[in-house]
Chain A
Amino acid sequence: MSLTLEQVHRVAHLARIEISDAEAASTLGHLNEIFALIEEMQAVDTLGIEPMAHAQDLAQRLRADRVTESDQLAQRAAFQAIAPETEAGLYLVPKVIE
């Protein structure tokens, strides 16, 4: 199978990556080459094979229900020092519309 330009635009938007028509066209070529490689998988009959999501067949470890943070004011200051835009302790973004 191969992708269409329209699909490239759609996926780019889902991924929130601006893409020009020219970029989309060149990307489409690369993606189709890569998908040609990926398609090799489709020839394999995997009926009854359990998908493997993790490298190990283990169960998840849990943490105790305990607060671990202290000195959060200093921590917040350190975190917000590297933020693009903050005010009154809030991260600022262009207006969110619901």
Chain B
Amino acid sequence: MKQWEVVIGIETHAQLSTEAKIFSGSSTAFGAIPNLQANAVDIALPGVLPVLNRGAVECAIRFGLAVGAEIAPRSVFARKNYFYPDLPKGYQISQYEHPVVLGGKLVIQVGDTDQTVHLTRAHLEEDAGKSLHEGAGQHFQGRSGIDLNRAGTPLLEIVTEPDMRSSAEAVAYARALHALVRWIGICDGNMQEGSFRCDANVSVRPIGQPHFGTRREIKNLNSFRFMQQAIDYEVQWQIATLEDGGSIEQATVLFDPVTGETRAMRSKEDAHDYRYFPDPDLLPLAIDRQWVEQIRAQMPELPGAKRDRLMVDYGLSLYDAEVLTSSLELAGFYEAAVAIAGRSNAKACANWVMVDLAARLNKEEREIGDSPVSAEQLGGLIARIADGTISTNMARKVFDTLWNGEGGSADDIIASQGLQQITDHASLERLIDELLATNATMVAEFRAGKEKAFNALVGQAMKATRGKANPQQVNELLRRKLA
């Protein structure tokens, strides 16, 4: 039996986070009533003209810098001609022969190893509108309704080389890209709203065959899970087809999440003759060095660099550093907490952010950006644990108080609720002496060999101090007194 190699390239449409559309002054906000955000340019009235949004170009430059690509000093917008009701002009303005971003690469983690996915290009283009069909609350019989709110929303189409060899690699790439575009603030990454959509070009070939097999393009994968399922299905379908003596026809396919299968689209006829030509309404896009450098100066530290720095500066493990740099917000939160708690508590900060805070956020389905406990508050709390002011158990109560918005800082709460740990040796010793005197039975039981009784005595001590005693200290004292 033949061994097969899977070859995958990914094209991603990332919706750029601009206020206005790419060629008009309409808002890009999601969720307006139909066609409210479709102005004269967006609905392509006769005589209207496009004017390129500087913000969209800046997003493309940021992306190019983030992936170490070449920013083309001159790029060209072309018209891609085809008829479709959600395409008001009868052509899409896109970049074809001369894209704005050339090359670049993204390092992804697959298992424990780093792999490099090379990018072919990234280019600017406009999104189409939406066709709404019967059903889904609509009831125009046998007709489709066209909403052009999304028409003209800026997109960056990011195209990879066919560098990936498994669905896992494809998903790792998509995740890394998703994190990156959000990190550099060019895309909100909202996959439900279609802000980040991937197409996967999949082919298989017998291992050792030099040329690629015929590929099929899986369109509009809007979740990582679907991407994995769709590619896995497609790969096994292609292998089965070839092993049965069939051949693969180049096609565009859709993934059906219900059946878990891919199926060929009823192809847009003559889809292969888009009659591209340079848009005569738009002169070439010129980007000078100065503009690029200006944007470079505003770029945040990139995730890979930050990850490495967190490991060196704070002694974090690769895993911790990876998790904490999964988004710019999380990394920012972490570093702000460390700034308050102190560098020596960096590891404790990592644990609090990744475990306690993450669990709570997760439970309430909140993002780090709207955590009720700020990085400063959490840092302050961790500092008080580190200097022994409060116990870890007590800290969780303070954390709850902060979470509920009761109290401005850990210090305020500790002070107002008298939560300071009792570390004063003399008073604790006095307390334990009283405890031993009033619990003679337990003492006797312990002496008779019941270890349980010891734990009960510790419990009594903690209860008597309402948890403020340092449990370790209580432990030591009890052992000594009972010895």
- Report if A and B touch in the complex (beta carbons < 8 A): yes
Report the minimum CB–CB distance from A27 to chain B (whole Å): 19
**Interface size class, chain B:** 35 or more
Q: Nearest chain-B residue to A93 (Cβ)?
A: B85
Set of chain A residues within 8 Å of B266, measured between Cβ atoms? 97-98
Given A67-B19, A90-B132, A59-B283 contact (CB < 8 Å): yes
Complex CA gap A40/B353 in Å reads 74
The answer to whether A96 and B51 have CB atoms under 8 Å apart is no
Q: Nearest chain-B residue to A92 (Cβ)?
A: B143
Q: Nearest chain-B residue to A58 (Cβ)?
A: B283
From B26, B34, B278, name the one whose CB has the most chain A CB atoms within 10 angstroms. Answer: B34
* B25, CB-defined interface residue at 8 Å: yes
The answer to whether B147 and A63 have CB atoms under 8 Å apart is no
Complex CA gap A61/B36 in Å reads 27
The answer to whether B143 and A93 have CB atoms under 8 Å apart is yes
* A94, CB-defined interface residue at 8 Å: yes
Report the minimum CB–CB distance from B38 to chain A (whole Å): 7
Please pick, from A64, A69, A98, the residue contacting B26 in the complex, using a CB distance under 8 A: A69
Complex CA gap A92/B138 in Å reads 12
Given A67-B20, A95-B134, A98-B254, A60-B283 contact (CB < 8 Å): yes
Given A59-B283, A60-B283, A62-B53, A67-B35 contact (CB < 8 Å): no
| Stretch binding the partner chain, chosen from A1-9, A28-36, A41-49, A74-82 | A74-82
- In B23-70, the 8 Å CB interface with A consists of 24-27, 33-40, 43, 45, 51-57
Complex CA gap A16/B81 in Å reads 12
Complex CA gap A67/B25 in Å reads 5
Report the minimum CB–CB distance from A97 to chain B (whole Å): 6
Q: Nearest chain-B residue to A54 (Cβ)?
A: B283
Please pick, from A56, A79, A96, the residue contacting B144 in the complex, using a CB distance under 8 A: A96
The answer to whether A93 and B51 have CB atoms under 8 Å apart is no
* A18, CB-defined interface residue at 8 Å: no
Set of chain B residues within 8 Å of A87, measured between Cβ atoms? 140, 145
* A22, CB-defined interface residue at 8 Å: no
Complex CA gap A64/B265 in Å reads 39
Q: Nearest chain-B residue to A51 (Cβ)?
A: B278
* B142, CB-defined interface residue at 8 Å: yes
Please pick, from A16, A64, A80, A95, the residue contacting B143 in the complex, using a CB distance under 8 A: A95
The answer to whether B143 and A54 have CB atoms under 8 Å apart is no
Complex CA gap A97/B286 in Å reads 40
Summarize B's interface: helix, strand, loop or mixed: loop
Complex CA gap A62/B275 in Å reads 26
* A37, CB-defined interface residue at 8 Å: no
* A73, CB-defined interface residue at 8 Å: yes
Set of chain A residues within 8 Å of B270, measured between Cβ atoms? 13-14
The answer to whether B37 and A72 have CB atoms under 8 Å apart is yes
* A26, CB-defined interface residue at 8 Å: no
The answer to whether B51 and A68 have CB atoms under 8 Å apart is no
Given A67-B25, A95-B143, A62-B284 contact (CB < 8 Å): no
Complex CA gap A95/B141 in Å reads 9
The answer to whether A60 and B286 have CB atoms under 8 Å apart is yes
Set of chain B residues within 8 Å of A73, measured between Cβ atoms? 36
Q: Nearest chain-B residue to A14 (Cβ)?
A: B270
Set of chain A residues within 8 Å of B148, measured between Cβ atoms? 91
Given A94-B142, A96-B144, A59-B26 contact (CB < 8 Å): no
The answer to whether A53 and B278 have CB atoms under 8 Å apart is yes
- In B9-30, the 8 Å CB interface with A consists of 18-20, 24-27
Complex CA gap A75/B43 in Å reads 12
Report the minimum CB–CB distance from A39 to chain B (whole Å): 20
Q: Nearest chain-A residue to B132 (Cβ)?
A: A90
Q: Nearest chain-B residue to A78 (Cβ)?
A: B40
- In B246-290, the 8 Å CB interface with A consists of 254, 265-266, 269-270, 273, 275, 278, 280, 282-286
* B131, CB-defined interface residue at 8 Å: yes
Complex CA gap A7/B55 in Å reads 43
The answer to whether B286 and A59 have CB atoms under 8 Å apart is yes
Report the minimum CB–CB distance from A73 to chain B (whole Å): 7
Report the minimum CB–CB distance from A70 to chain B (whole Å): 10
Q: Which 10 A-B pairs have the closest CB atoms?
A: A65-B55, A68-B25, A90-B145, A59-B286, A62-B54, A89-B34, A60-B283, A91-B146, A96-B144, A96-B131
Extra contacts besides A65-B54, A90-B146, A96-B144 (15): CB < 8 Å: A14-B270, A56-B283, A60-B284, A63-B51, A63-B54, A65-B53, A67-B19, A67-B20, A69-B37, A79-B43, A90-B145, A92-B145, A96-B86, A97-B266, A98-B254
**21 sample A-B contacts, Cβ–Cβ < 8 Å, listed by A number:** A53-B278, A60-B52, A62-B57, A64-B53, A64-B54, A65-B18, A65-B54, A65-B56, A68-B26, A69-B25, A75-B39, A79-B38, A79-B45, A90-B35, A90-B138, A90-B145, A91-B35, A91-B85, A92-B144, A92-B146, A96-B144
Chain A contact residues, CB within 8 Å of chain B: 13-14, 16, 53-54, 56, 58-69, 72-73, 75-76, 79-80, 87-98
